[in-house]
């Protein structure tokens, strides 16, 4: 029993030091286990020299195992408590108190939108995790289970509640970023007969009609226009003009463009935020690497503008690819998250 207590105290001390020094959870756990293991080895050697019973040695090892399991469960529990505490703190309450839904006839370019200061990376991830809008009829659209994977890839979530009026045969979808996966676009066509405009300049396919309801364009989304050299890129406002969709209601705007969502947000928010008035739902795969603190600040500001325009987080999930994950401020994070915003109104 004394040995188990020593192991626990040594591990706890290592955790405490690492926490105060700002070491992430993974490194802290490694240090704690290594120190505890060293103590255990010392005790076993001591016991052997003193010819202590085998039961004593088994007790030491069992105690060490129990401690490891308890440590992991406590770390998970405390992590969850930390997230819940962050999402209920004064920053969120102040933002909710000062928020008001914009008017349809209001010039969104004149909205004075100032998001609260992002104190640390936790605020950014907690904002993604904090679902502010509930959906009664969520639908997974597209996605495929590849032979070498244990998770779906390419799927997007869409809310089919009556308030969004996603009408089969009349719905319009803009889908930026295809890769080799048209499952989202094809699914919208087969299940809802939506008119889908799909875009991707990287897959070496010319502009063509894929099906009666799905049109593919060899163009990518950016904050600039470059239509005469490859890869062809265009601003959101330019694409709407080319397709004559400036005044058309967009049921779903998908952005899975490997970081170019930053271009989209920057350009539209700065120069043409009123174009978002016609968008019901926005599904984005957000990309921010572990050490990209400046990009996190930018995306935080863009999320703030979306909130000022009346968009709220309805779905979000971490990317399932484990190799893309990392530890940051004692939490497991990823470079990539799927996030869906929707405007809280009756369409």
Q: What is the pLDDT of residues 236-259, one digit of tens each?
A: 999 999 999 999 999 999 999 999
The pLDDT score that the predictor gives to residue 113 is: 85
Q: For residue 53, what are the contacts with CB-CB under 8 A and spacing of at least 6?
A: none
pLDDT in tens, 314-331: 999 999 999 999 999 999
What is 90-343's CATH number, 1.10.101, 3.40.190, 3.30.70, 3.40.50?
3.40.50
Candidate from 31-40, 81-90, 155-164, 220-229 with smallest mean pLDDT: 81-90
* CB 230 within 8 Å of CB 207: no
The pLDDT score that the predictor gives to residue 151 is: 86
Q: For residue 342, what are the contacts with CB-CB under 8 A and spacing of at least 6?
A: 133, 135, 159, 164, 280, 281, 282, 311, 312, 314
- Mean confidence (pLDDT) of the chain: 82
* CB 261 within 8 Å of CB 177: no
* DSSP type of residue 104: T
Annotated domain spans of the chain: 2-78, 90-343
> Looking at the whole model, is its pTM more than 0.85?
no
pLDDT in tens, 75-85: 433 333 333 34
């Amino acid at each position: 029993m004394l040995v188990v207590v020593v192991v626990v105290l040594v591990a706890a001390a290592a955790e405490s030091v690492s926490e105060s020094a700002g070491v992430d959870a993974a490194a802290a756990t490694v240090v704690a286990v290594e120190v505890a293991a060293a103590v255990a080895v010392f005790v076993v050697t001591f016991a052997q020299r003193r010819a202590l019973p085998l039961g004593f040695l088994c007790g030491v090892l069992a105690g060490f195992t129990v401690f490891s399991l308890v440590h992991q469960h406590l770390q998970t529990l405390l992590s969850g408590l930390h997230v819940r505490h962050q999402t209920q703190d004064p920053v969120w309450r102040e933002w909710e108190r000062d928020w008001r839904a914009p008017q349809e006839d209001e010039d969104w370019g004149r909205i004075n939108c100032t998001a609260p200061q992002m104190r640390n990376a936790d605020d950014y991830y907690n904002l993604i995790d904090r679902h502010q809008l509930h959906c009664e009829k969520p639908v997974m659209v597209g996605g495929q289970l590849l032979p070498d994977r244990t998770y779906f890839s390419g799927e997007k979530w869409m809310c089919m509640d009556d308030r969004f009026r996603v009408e089969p045969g009349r719905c319009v979808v803009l889908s930026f970023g295809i890769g080799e996966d048209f499952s989202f676009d094809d699914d919208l066509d087969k299940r809802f007969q939506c008119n889908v405009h799909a875009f991707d300049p990287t897959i070496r396919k010319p502009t063509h009609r894929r099906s009666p309801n799905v049109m593919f364009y060899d163009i990518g989304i950016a904050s600039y226009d470059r239509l005469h050299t490859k890869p062809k890129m265009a601003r959101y406002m330019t694409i709407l003009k080319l397709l004559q969709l400036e005044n058309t209601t967009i049921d779903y705007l998908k952005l899975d463009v490997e970081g170019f969502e930053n271009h989209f947000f920057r350009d539209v928010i700065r120069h043409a935020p009123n174009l978002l008035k016609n968008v019901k739902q926005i599904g984005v795969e957000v990309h921010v690497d572990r050490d990209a603190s400046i990009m996190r600040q930018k995306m935080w500001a863009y999320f703030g503008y979306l909130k000022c325009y009346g968009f709220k987080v309805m779905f979000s999930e971490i990317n399932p690819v484990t190799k893309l994950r990392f530890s940051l401020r004692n939490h497991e994070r990823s470079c990539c998250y799927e996030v869906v915003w929707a405007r809280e109104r009756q369409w």
